Amino acid sequence: MWIVYDSEEGLVYSSDDFEKAKEEYEKYKKSAKEYVQDNNEFTGDEEVILAQVKKHLYVVDTNESVIEEDEHGEEYESDVTYFDWKEE
């Protein structure tokens, strides 16, 4: 997985496609440089990062409905589903 991070906007792109990630990186790099040049100012915190992710932990929907009880104690499947963690 490849990600592009911009200091102004945070995480702006993630994908397994390196070429597309590189294109996004170049786009944000150009934008950062243009912003500094057009406004004739910078904070020193400006940065754009293209990085390969080695580990990734995230939440996935299990599509398993949460069982709840109504006011009479009867169980029913709610519209809410459980989640689980996935790591790649």
Q: What is the 3-state secondary structure (H, E, C) of 7-37?
A: CCCEEEEEECCHHHHHHHHHHHHHHHHHHHH
Asked whether residue 11 falls in the same domain as residue 47, the answer is: yes
pLDDT beyond 80 at 42? no
Asked whether residue 78 falls in the same domain as residue 45, the answer is: no
Asked whether residue 6 falls in the same domain as residue 48, the answer is: yes
Asked whether residue 43 falls in the same domain as residue 16, the answer is: yes
Asked whether residue 47 falls in the same domain as residue 61, the answer is: no
Domain extent, residue 43, equals: 2-52
| Domain total of the chain | 2
pLDDT beyond 80 at 67? yes
CA nearest neighbour of 11 among 34, 21, 66, 20: 21
Asked whether residue 43 falls in the same domain as residue 28, the answer is: yes
Asked whether residue 31 falls in the same domain as residue 73, the answer is: no
41 — pLDDT class (breaks 50, 70, 90): confident
pTM (2 decimals)? 0.68
CB atoms within 10 A of CB 25: 21
pLDDT beyond 80 at 79? yes
Asked whether residue 32 falls in the same domain as residue 12, the answer is: yes
